[in-house]
Amino acid sequence: MTTTDDAWLQIHGLSKQFGGAHALRDVDVDIHSGEVHGLVGANGAGKSTLIRCLAGVTAPDSGTITLAGEEISISSPRDAEKAGLAFIHQELNLVPHFTAIENILLGAPKEKRLGMIDWKRSRRLAREAADRIGVGFSLDRRVDELSVAEQWLVMISKALVRNSSMIAMDEPTASLSDQESNHLFRVTRDLAASGVAILYVSHRLDEVLELSDRITVFRDGRVTDRAVRGQLDKAGLIRAIVGQDVEKPSRERHSGVDRSATALFSARNVAGAPRVRDVSFELYRGEVLGIGGLVGAGRSELAKLAFGAGKLDGGEFQLAGKTLKPGSIPRAVASGVGLVPEERRSEGLMLDKSVAYNMNIAVLKQLRSVPSLPFVSGGKSRARAQRLIEQLSIKTPSPAQTIGSLSGGNQQKALIARWLTPDVKVLFFDEPSRGVDIGARHEIHEAIRSLAADGIGTIVISSDVEELAVLCDRIVVMCEGVVSGELVGDEISEKRIIELSYAHLQPAGSPEHPSTPDPLEGDVA
């Protein structure tokens, strides 16, 4: 292991305050060429603020950044790019209707010949960058036709075309399957072996421990621990993050479902192109129903059909025994269906609006000063927001705070708070703990259980089989747009969820755990 003096990038004494609150407090971090450096901590611990300072998005109040022994100033994203720093955020910054190669080359310095852009050579350099990380799809495909895993490879190629010496990855596997994650791990290790520094930010501690040469732990804006590979196990890393031991979550499941009662919510042979082919299930009052399966199995699309955000091609939904015809999002909300989407920043939140605005947007009629007039009472709005902030332990200076400045876990809890209204009868949670720390994950799970206990139909979609196994009373598993199986009570295990996730991909008579192709090599099914 190299010493601190050999560090390629040195951050010393970095501090930053927002509204009088410390986001960073005298932080020191050293990053070496050719290492995977894990950055962990609870939401709001300071990781994102540090990355924003390195990216030139936020100016620190004090401290220095030294690159290859020379102090530098990063006052804009362009400065960061010139310094060789690249940043791949959880919400990928790609132009959907551009091709992969157009996204890779967008904004990059172009090769020139006789004063003109040499597009042939520029395309060749983009192809070389893609080949370096094993891209198997055509770079002429539009980005919105690619899987999330393939889009990540486009972003990495984009960094390599710019000759980036460090790539920061924020929650890279949050929406990837196990196979896609393993491919990304191989890419990450190969990049580090070639001399690129990788700053790896993730709440998935097992992969941080597996990948990282060194780990820096943040808590309350400070660096509270540092470790090299092998010094910490998962329990020790959790202690470093939260400051104490955390008990392994447990769940006393419902022993069974009263199928003699009318289902609170059900799907009957639901179909919606291109992902959902024929899905049926029931949700009973008081239970937490999970929907498992691989990325691309049609789970998110199913939730959007129920929420009126997709076209229903066949079948029907029923609410309390009556046919539900969502048709549009306003009609679905009026019927009592809510959705906490997977992409909370792009699909769920208005980032430039306040916490109160985002919480109250679905219940404006309830907050009117006079019921018959379309004027919202500021007092009612603030009171509801403050009550929900306290109920869900949302960390924010006030309801008036811009929600985009909150940590991911607090944004997620604010989005859940939006649907805490008597009008909501069924609430879908799509990847509810994606990108949140272990403490926020526990609080979100408790909120979901509380909603189920109060009689709200709760449906949890998750790629995290551990989350489904811990949280849910019953699990419906989807594969290729249909239901491949159902698990109840003691039948639920991570192993069984995974087996059913691959059920329709196994040819007749195949072994229990078949060898399946890497979904990043060639087209994704």
pTM: 0.61
Structure tokens at 378: 């500021």
Q: pLDDT at position 524, please?
A: 32
Per-residue burial over 316-353, b if 16 or more Cβ lie within 10 Å, else e, is ebbbeeeebebeeeeebbebbbbbbbbebbeebbeeee
The total of other beta-carbon atoms located within 10 Å of residue 201's CB is 23
Coil vs helix vs strand at 288:
strand
Burial class (CB within 10 angstroms; exposed 0-12, middle 13-18, buried 19+) of 216: buried
- What integer pLDDT is reported at residue 179 of this predicted model? 83
User: Rounded CA gap, 82 and 492, in Å?
Assistant: 51
Q: Name the one residue in this structure whose structure tokens are 């329990």.
A: 235
**pLDDT number for residue 9:** 94
**CA angle centred on 419, ends 406 and 485, rounded to 5°:** 105
Does the CA dihedral 333-336-341-344 come out positive or negative?
Answer: positive
pLDDT of residue 523: 35
Rg (CA), the chain: 24
The domain locations on the chain are 4-242, 265-336+423-505
Which single residue is written with the structure tokens 């393939």? 150
User: Do the first three CATH levels of 4-242 and 265-336+423-505 match, i.e. the same topology?
Assistant: yes
Outline where DSSP puts E strands in 341-479: 426-430, 457-461, 474-479
DSSP per-residue codes, 322-358: EEE---SHHHHHHHTEEEE-S-IIIII--TTSBHHHH
Phi, psi (rounded to 5 degrees) for 434: -60, 125
Pick the CATH number of 265-336+423-505 from 3.90.1300.10, 3.40.50.300, 3.30.230.70, 3.40.109.10: 3.40.50.300
* pLDDT of the chain, 525 residues: tens digit per residue: 444 446 899 999 999 987 666 789 999 999 999 999 999 887 668 888 899 899 999 999 999 999 999 999 999 999 999 999 999 987 788 999 999 999 999 888 766 776 677 778 888 889 999 999 989 899 999 999 998 889 999 999 999 999 999 999 988 887 777 788 899 999 999 999 999 999 999 878 888 999 999 999 998 889 999 999 989 888 888 788 877 654 555 555 554 456 567 899 999 999 998 889 999 999 998 899 999 987 778 899 999 999 999 899 999 999 988 998 888 888 998 899 999 998 888 888 898 999 999 999 888 788 888 877 778 888 888 899 999 999 888 888 889 999 988 888 889 999 999 988 888 999 999 999 887 777 788 888 998 998 998 889 999 999 888 889 999 999 999 988 999 999 988 889 888 887 888 665 444 343 343 333 343 333 332
Q: What pLDDT does residue 262 have?
A: 85
pLDDT at 306: 94
* Domain covering 4-242 in this structure, CATH number: 3.40.50.300
Which positions ≥6 away from 294 have C-beta within 8 Å?
A: 177, 463, 479, 501, 502
Closest CA to 272 of 323, 306, 318, 310: 310
As a whole number of angstroms, the distance between CA 249 and CA 432 comes to 16
Q: Is the peptide bond before 249 cis (omega within 30 degrees of 0)?
A: no
Count Cβ atoms within 10 A of the Cβ of residue 46 and give its class: 0-12 exposed, 13-18 middle, 19 or more buried.
Answer: buried
Query: Looking at residue 518, what is its pLDDT?
Result: 40
Strand order in the sheet with 222-228: 85-88, 166-170, 197-201, 36-41, 214-219, 222-228
